[in-house]
């Protein structure tokens, strides 16, 4: 998904078509998705024929139909996005609900890709005991893969196998620390290729000892999945771990909202759309806050945003969603975005920004 976002967000050309629609994971519901997609393509055709040459419209519609034929709807997730212009034809499935819409603009609508990346939790799960360590990559409550060599790692000098050396408590601690240190180095070696955060599944004593030897403590969640789960199946451990991750994400989201309230009190907050637009173009915005499901067609007149109605979306100069435009623009300046549930930004009309200074 991050690769798709990186590829699409910098493309700028005429008639970039984005189809965004909810889809279904199970039968018989997913059987309806093909027809829904055909209806969206029909909307694209109507709008293109009104705004561009018949030759261009036909070429793009043919590409859309060809792309649609590639989609196996039995593998759908919660939403489906199609991206087509004269040079691009690709689709992606997302595990989040969206607002169905068709967007034809000079750029692709990538906001839901950004939101999905923020909504998903991709992490490593280190299943740890004093004798053994397993490493699993997980996405939300699903196993991506469990790593092979050098995992699972065995503590070959475990005090349970060397009772003479383990007689002294200090020696026991030393052997365990050495093993945890080796495990940590292997975990960090894997993280160099894909630097995801690490959640540890172990008992309290081991969690504390591991943190003592960890080289990159900032990459480890400040919470853990208690209990020795070494003998459990990977999917069972991940399913339990995701409950911890969800709780952590709620706390993180609340922390971001606290940043927003602090910025308001420090007069570092903007809520006027045109003020935000100008500040983004000057690189002054750190974080955009937007409610999920908020969209606004607009036009630019003398570099000023003017809202238009949904009925005017098909007009050639209309930007289908000005918020999507600002999110992409702010990301280009190194800013970020926080998506909040509907209603949490009511006093700011659903949209606001925290300035860098």
The model's pLDDT over 250-260, given as tens digits with 9 standing for 90+, comes to 888 889 889 99
pLDDT above 70 covers a percentage of the chain that reads 95
User: Alpha carbon of 343 to those of 259, 321, 340, 351, 352: distances in Å?
Assistant: 18, 19, 8, 11, 13
Which pLDDT does position 168 carry in this prediction?
54
CA distance 336 to 39: 34
CA distance 8 to 110: 8
Tell me if 21 sits within 8 A of 80, measured CB to CB: yes
Which pLDDT does position 167 carry in this prediction?
53
Model confidence pLDDT, tens digit, residues 200-258: 999 999 999 999 999 999 999 999 999 899 999 999 999 999 999 999 988 888 898 89
Residues found in the chain? 357
What mean pLDDT do residues 304-329 have? 84
Q: What is the DSSP letter of 319?
A: B
Question: Which among 100, 98, 190, 103 is positioned nearest to 149, based on CA atoms?
Answer: 190
- Segment holding 33, helix H or strand E: helix 33-51
Q: What is the CA radius of gyration of the chain?
A: 25
Which pLDDT does position 272 carry in this prediction?
95
Which pLDDT does position 96 carry in this prediction?
86
Model confidence pLDDT, tens digit, residues 18-33: 999 999 989 999 999 9
CA distance 206 to 186: 17
Average pLDDT, the chain: 91
Tell me if 340 sits within 8 A of 292, measured CB to CB: yes
Which pLDDT does position 166 carry in this prediction?
47
């Amino acid at each position: 998904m991050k690769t798709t976002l990186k590829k699409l967000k910098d493309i700028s050309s005429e008639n970039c078509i984005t189809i965004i629609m909810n889809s279904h994971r199970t039968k018989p519901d997913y059987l309806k998705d093909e027809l829904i997609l055909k209806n969206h393509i029909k909307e694209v055709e109507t709008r293109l024929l009104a705004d561009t040459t018949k030759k261009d419209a036909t070429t793009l519609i043919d590409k859309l139909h060809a792309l649609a034929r590639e989609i196996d709807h039995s593998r759908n997730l919660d939403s489906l996005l199609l991206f087509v212009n004269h040079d691009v034809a690709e689709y992606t499935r997302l595990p989040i609900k969206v607002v169905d819409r068709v967007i034809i603009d000079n750029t692709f609508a990538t906001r839901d890709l950004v939101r999905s990346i923020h909504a998903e939790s991709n992490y490593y799960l280190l299943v740890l005991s004093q004798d053994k360590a397993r490493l699993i990559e997980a996405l939300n409550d699903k196993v991506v893969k469990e790593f092979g060599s050098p995992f699972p790692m065995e503590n070959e000098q475990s005090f349970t196998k060397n009772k003479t050396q383990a007689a002294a408590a200090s020696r026991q601690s030393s052997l365990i620390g050495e093993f945890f240190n080796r495990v940590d180095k292997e975990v960090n070696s894997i993280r160099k290729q894909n630097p995801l955060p690490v959640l540890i599944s172990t008992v309290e004593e081991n969690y504390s000892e591991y943190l003592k030897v960890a080289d990159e403590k900032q990459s480890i969640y400040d919470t853990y999945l208690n209990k020795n789960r070494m003998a459990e199946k990977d999917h069972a451990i991940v399913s339990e771990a995701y409950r911890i991750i969800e709780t952590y994400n709620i706390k993180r989201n609340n922390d971001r909202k606290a940043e927003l309230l602090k910025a308001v009190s420090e007069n570092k907050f903007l809520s006027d759309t045109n003020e935000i637009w100008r500040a983004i173009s000057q690189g002054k915005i750190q974080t955009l806050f937007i409610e999920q499901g908020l969209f606004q067609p607009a036009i630019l007149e003398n570099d000023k945003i003017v809202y238009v109605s949904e009925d005017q979306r098909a007009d050639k100069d209309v930007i289908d969603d000005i918020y999507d435009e600002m999110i992409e623009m702010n990301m280009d300046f190194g800013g970020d975005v926080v998506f909040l549930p509907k209603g949490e930004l009511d006093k700011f009309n659903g949209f606001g920004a925290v300035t860098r200074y």
